[in-house]
Structure 1
Amino acid sequence: MDVARQLVLEPYPDARAAWLGGSVARGDASTTSDLDITVLLDGPPAPMRKSLEYGGWPVELFVHTEKSLRHFADKDQARRQPTMMRLVGESVVLLDTDGSGVRLKEEYLAEVAAGPRPLSGDELDLLRYTITNLLDDLSDASGDVRLAIASVLWQDAARLLLTGAGRWSGTGKGLLREVSAYDAALAAALMDGVRAEDDRLVVAVDHILAEYGGRLFAGFELGATI
């Protein structure tokens, strides 16, 4: 906390607010974790992010105005991955000179709790179609080709599982963390299936698809905007 606060005050003495988010704030930091620090300014400078080392810590620094915070939070909503909202909402307030630190933390925390917007019909059909094609590709694949397909398949299936249930999605380890929090047994089945050279992944993915109408190929149609 002291290192993070000092890092904010040295280059940004006029900062309105600052938050420490990420794994350190959550309490599950590892030996390689960094400090995720978001700083609120009236502006300028323009919004930016910077990676640096300070006080023995690797640091990811995000500098924003209220307008740019809202812009990136809206992008989070569109992709159903609440990165910016969590950096502020699920944080420790480092600095709050005008009440905006607590106010924005509460606003974004409420948005995280509300969850993402539901899948549209077209989005659902596209996910089912994409997963169906990956399952077909997996059926006669082996070795490295199978592993490459499986690594994409489990992630698309996990996104369908989460967004269909009104839960936030993620990428990489963040996606696995979200699935494990929602259904630990199914998350384990997906990971076992990726590693195994048998049909365990197919069974797990078909189980997810069954909740949304099963596999989709014949009859799939999606218009394009040019």
Structure 2
Amino acid sequence: MDPKDLARQLVVEQYPDARAAWLGGSVARGDASSTSDLDITVLLDGPPAPLRKSLEYGGWPVELFVHTEKSLAYFSDKDQKRRQPTMMRLVGESVVLLDRDGSGAHFQQAGQAEVAAGPAPLSTSELELLRYTITGLLDDLADASGDVRTALCSALWQDAARLLLTGARHWSGTGKGLLREVMAYDESQGTDHATALMDGVRAEDDSLVEEVDRILQPYGGRLFSGFELTGTTP
């Protein structure tokens, strides 16, 4: 059975009162692999929601996200604050499986608009904290080797990628999603940061340091002396 039809069948069977449902992720994008799952979001009028559940259905692994309008708004707002559009993409970049009252199309279009608008700009304190964190990793990397170097490189490319993306008001991500966002940024800007970062992680030379300094440069470069972080009293 076509995975879209299978996903629709699951929703109808398990959530007969659903107002809307969407199939997102790699299957909806058309780049699914042999290990991909079905990312299904369901909209209900009321409880039980929100719910995240993993299961197998029709030979497919399924990630099921059950929401109300209130919980959709809550998680979209949370994604805005962390600049990672997980919920917006799951619904906005999707195939509508079910739409009983127009909410399927409405929330899909709203998600697309939020993704297209991009995240809020970094505040001065957020930018300085990223620069300071990256500077510390670069200093630690200077005399590191073996497993310590591998661990530092893993953290460094991700923090540098987040600065690259969020500094330019482009969405960020985690894991393979972060790399996918850097690749999308490169495609739109005609740059090669994804390749340079990954080549630098693998190389036993200073190429990663050079690439990270290249990313830092538009924001004032490395930051240590003069950095301050104020907090609130608990």
RMSD (Å) for aligned C-alpha atoms: 0.7
Q: Which residue of 2 aligns with 1:221?
A: 228
Structure 1: where are the runs of 5+ without partners?
Answer: none
- The 5-angstrom pairing of residues 176-191 of structure 1 reads 176-183=179-186, 185-191=192-198
Deviation at 1:196, TM superposition (A): 0.9
Deviation at 1:51, TM superposition (A): 0.3
Deviation at 1:91, TM superposition (A): 0.3
Q: Which residue of 1 aligns with 2:96?
A: 93
Q: Which residue of 2 aligns with 1:6?
A: 9
Q: Which residue of 1 aligns with 2:107?
A: 104
Deviation at 1:88, TM superposition (A): 0.3
The 2-side partners of 1:202 and 1:55 are apart by 47
Q: Which residue of 2 aligns with 1:153?
A: 156
Q: How does the TM-score come out when normalised to structure 2?
A: 0.95
Q: Which residue of 1 aligns with 2:139?
A: 136
Is 1:171 aligned to 2:178, yes or no?
A: no
Q: Which residue of 2 aligns with 1:194?
A: 201
Letter in 1 for 2:129: L
The 2-side partners of 1:45 and 1:108 are apart by 23
Q: Deviations over 1:119-164 (max 9, x none)?
A: 0000000000000000000000011100100000000000000001
Q: Deviations over 1:83-128 (max 9, x none)?
A: 0110000000000000000001001110010000000000000000
Q: Deviations over 1:28-49 (max 9, x none)?
A: 0000000000000001112101
DSSP 3-state at the match of 1:222: coil
Is 1:67 aligned to 2:70, yes or no?
A: yes
DSSP 3-state at the match of 1:169: coil
Alignment identity in percent? 80
DSSP 3-state at the match of 1:181: helix
Q: Is the 8 A contact 1:26 1:91 kept in 2?
A: yes
The 2-side partners of 1:28 and 1:192 are apart by 24
Q: How does the TM-score come out when normalised to structure 1?
A: 0.99
Q: Which residue of 2 aligns with 1:58?
A: 61
The 1-side partners of 2:48 and 2:146 are apart by 50
DSSP 3-state at the match of 1:146: helix
Structure 2: where are the runs of 5+ without partners?
Answer: none
The 2-side partners of 1:134 and 1:48 are apart by 37
The 2-side partners of 1:77 and 1:98 are apart by 27
The 1-side partners of 2:57 and 2:109 are apart by 28
